[in-house]
Structure 1
Amino acid sequence: MTAQEELNKATVLRFNKEVLENGSINAINELISPEFINYTAPPGTPNGPQGIIDFTINMMHKALTGISVQIHDQVIENDKVVTRKTIYGTQVGSFMGVAPSGEQVAINIIDIITLKNGQYTEHWSMRDIQDMIDKSAKANNR
């Protein structure tokens, strides 16, 4: 692995810890390029750091408490980092159209990140929210 690939891997790990787990807006502003494009963001989400703030801080952190991220695998090639991970948290609010269950939920994700100069420039993601849907249905008698 090249020195740049090591830096890119470390940047993605930092994002998962400081942004997803801890909700750090300072880390968002440091790690997300102003030109950042999130190709799998909800409709109407702005590009750049504000889009990450809107989704992660204003949506995810309001819906899930006690967030932790478990990294299962990472594949790094040149300027891209692919991460397979699970986000855990207790769902206390509606998230991605799913009513709260009050239960700990698992969201399985595969992310593809492009980085330049230590910042995220592009993002694609596949999310599996079935665990959250199942627990919501059970809690809300659906």
Structure 2
Amino acid sequence: MSDNEPTADELSEAAKAVVRRNTEEVQGGGDFALFDELFADDFLDHTPQPGRTPDKAGARELYQVLREAFPDFHADIHWQAADSDLVTTYKTYHGTHKGEFLGIAPTGKRISFETVDAMRVRDGKITEHWGVANLFSLMQQLGALPDAT
């Protein structure tokens, strides 16, 4: 390794910063110009949401749908861990249902649901994503599924 190559810790910290900016400024702030900067053109989502393509356009569309359905959409990041260029984040999303979401008319309800995702960051850009979201809980909160009692 040459003197000017970043260490694994430096790579991890830089990758976590990119993922945090995506969570806070793109998802939470609706900054889609930043989305275009942060996501690689050959981005691949290994766990795309139903009806979404597994590419950069599909991720952008998902973020836009979420912001339209929940205009105050934002996340609390509970923790992040990184192994070089792979960042895992556990967070809780929050928002108010003010637009149609998955065919559900606006309810005005405040929602929150947990997500764990992993994103690979190379050269300052998000190149891959794997994720699990508690959409069952979200659909219960919107009244589309019965509460577990």
TM-score w.r.t. the length of structure 2 is 0.83
Distance 1:110 1:99, change over 3 A: farther
Aligned match of 1:88: 94
Cα distance in 1 for residues equivalent to 2:37 and 2:110: 30
Aligned match of 1:78: 84
Q: Which amino acid aligns with 1:111?
A: D
Aligned match of 1:64: 70
Secondary structure at the counterpart of residue 69 of structure 1: strand
Is 1:38 matched with 2:38? no
Greater Cα offset, 96-105 or 121-130: 96-105
Secondary structure at the counterpart of residue 143 of structure 2: helix
1:87-125 deviation digits (Å, cap 9, x = unpaired): 100012332455543111002100110111011110011
Cα distance in 1 for residues equivalent to 2:16 and 2:132: 19
Contact 2:66 2:73 in 1 (8 A): no
How many residue pairs match? The answer is: 138
Q: Which amino acid aligns with 1:60?
A: L
- Following superposition, the deviation at residue 34 of structure 1 comes to 0.5
Greater Cα offset, 32-41 or 44-53: 44-53
Q: Which amino acid aligns with 2:77?
A: I
**Could you tell me the percent identity over the aligned residues?**
28
Q: Which amino acid aligns with 1:106?
A: S
- Following superposition, the deviation at residue 133 of structure 1 comes to 2.0
Secondary structure at the counterpart of residue 140 of structure 2: helix
User: Which sections of structure 2, spanning at least 5 residues, go unmatched?
Assistant: 1-7, 145-149
Q: Which amino acid aligns with 2:28?
A: E
Structure number with bigger Rg: 2
1:66-101 deviation digits (Å, cap 9, x = unpaired): 122100111110110000001100012332455543
